[in-house]
Structure 1
């Protein structure tokens, strides 16, 4: 397949592009600088500009664009940037598809577990309603933009959870502390994080390219875990203690709304669509995931 990837340089994009190429696919990256090889096309999503030739003959488009949620404090300007960096590129891609005589067959456009807001211990399948808060609002608009793709394009919006990797990602700042034995749970630790390993994210996106699935897809592991269990599992695999809990008031004081929605929110997602379609996880259980992370490799 000829697959166009927006956001190919990020954590997920790098792993996914490598996996797809290893499987024999022709992967073309959209970049915001002059193209350096035939496998790149320059675009400017902020201005809605893209060379339509980039999508010509494409079988699929994968959209992973978006500024980092936890990279900076959530000022009003930053929140506006988080929204624009997701909705703008998505609409640029759907508009380009609409101009093609033969648009790609499938559009995989990233979304996030933040769609559900904070739902406590309630099990969240794909038909659960959107939550409240900044992340939920961003995800709702992000997914709506993806569904502006022309008729006939199969649109999938994977709601990706907390990605576990050996470096970087959502736990990029916490993992070094856990390796040193000076990390611990955040808040009371009873909030659920819908975790998934990086290889399983890449595997799920590859699977969704051809699976007869459309609409929202919860992209997480089948075994749910609260933060206490997640941190204990990772620390145990590293043979380190995880005793230094960070109280919720401290997180709120230091990080404000970002802490409330990103660290203290609870989303007990169930990957019902992926499981029903027959996807097979490499790391379905937390013990397997923690062992893989601890290997470093």
Structure 2
């Protein structure tokens, strides 16, 4: 297959490119093709922008993972706009190119996040629970992100990924958590009751590959492991795997003072269940947190 990938230099994208390049021809969209080539290798093709394309006739599939990292900087109005536009603009462009195609790609796999549901308590959430979403910034990002992807759903098979916390020591939340935990300075965040819906990076990549090749798959999918945990439970398991104490809890007021509105990413959560993936036959390698962390940190 000829596959166009956006976000190919990110945590998920770089590992996905490594797996897919063994069997498929990949073109990676990157604002800096030279840097992308250094990271991903010369065996892939690179594209600097979509403006040069009239349609996507030459591609069999598109995987759209592009977006400004949501937790890199404090949420100023300017940063909020950057977070939104980095997702909405490119997704809209892809949808328009698919609509303009005489032979559109057979599948469009487009990113979203479990932030769609907004801040939740202990209510388990499946893909059927859209109406339970809380209207806040994370929901607004994802709602529009998904809406512009759906513009082309009459022209191709569309799969939307509502991704949870992707676990890998190479990047994302786990990489940021490891330094204090390794020296025994990690701890519970806030009251620790907020749920963390996580997924092992390997299952994330396997799931995307499964959607790519499963012609019956379409619509929205929660990309989280079947067994989400509270922050308190996550802290306990991570400390156990690293054989370190948890001595320094992070009080909510300190996070709100330091991060402002962005602190909701740490203090609030969602208990998300991957119901559609499981119903349609996808099998997770890492359903439980402790084996997942042992694989990532001790192998």
Q: TM-score range by the shorter chain?
A: over 0.9
Contact 2:29/2:49, CA 8 A, preserved across alignment: no
* Pair 1:6–1:25, CA change in 2 (3 A): same
Partner of 1:221: 225
Q: Give me the TM-score of the superposition, normalised by structure 2.
A: 0.92
* CA distance in 1: counterparts of 2:280 and 2:247, whole angstroms: 40
Distance 2:296 2:78 in 1: 35
Cα deviation code 1:200-249 (max 9, x no counterpart): 11011001112222221000001120111112111111111123110111
Structure 2, unaligned runs of 5 or more: none
CA distance in 1, matches of 2:272, 2:43: 40
What is the distance in 1 between the residues matched to 2:239 and 2:20? 32
- 1-side partners of 2:195 and 2:113: how far apart? 15
Alignment of 1:150-189 (within 5 A): 151-189=154-192
Q: Tell me the TM-score normalized by structure 1.
A: 0.93
More helix by share: 2
Q: For residues 67-116 of structure 1, give each alpha carbon's deviation from its aligned partner in whole angstroms, at most 9, with x where no partner exists.
A: 01000010001101111000001011111112211000111100001000
User: Following TM superposition, where does structure 1 have runs of at least 4 consecutive aligned residues deviating by more than 6 angstroms?
Assistant: none
- Aligned pair in 2 of structure 1 residues 34, 161: CA closer, same or farther (>3 Å)? closer
| Superposed displacement of residue 34, structure 1 | 5.1
Mark the CA change 1:50 to 1:93 in structure 2 (over 3 Å): closer, same or farther. Answer: farther
Shift in Å at residue 40 of structure 1? 2.5
Structure 1 unaligned segments of length 5 or more: list them. none
Q: Could you give the per-residue CA deviations for residues 138-166 of structure 1, whole angstroms, max 9, x where no partner exists? A: 00000001011152311111100001102
Q: What SS is found at the alignment partner of 2:121?
A: coil
Counterpart in 1 of 2:255?
Answer: 251
Equivalent residue number for residue 141 of structure 2: 138
Give the CA RMSD over aligned residues.
1.6
**How many pairs align?**
290
What's the counterpart of residue 20 of structure 2? 20
Q: Deviations over 1:117-174 (max 9, x none)?
A: 0110000000112322101000000000101115231111110000110221123221
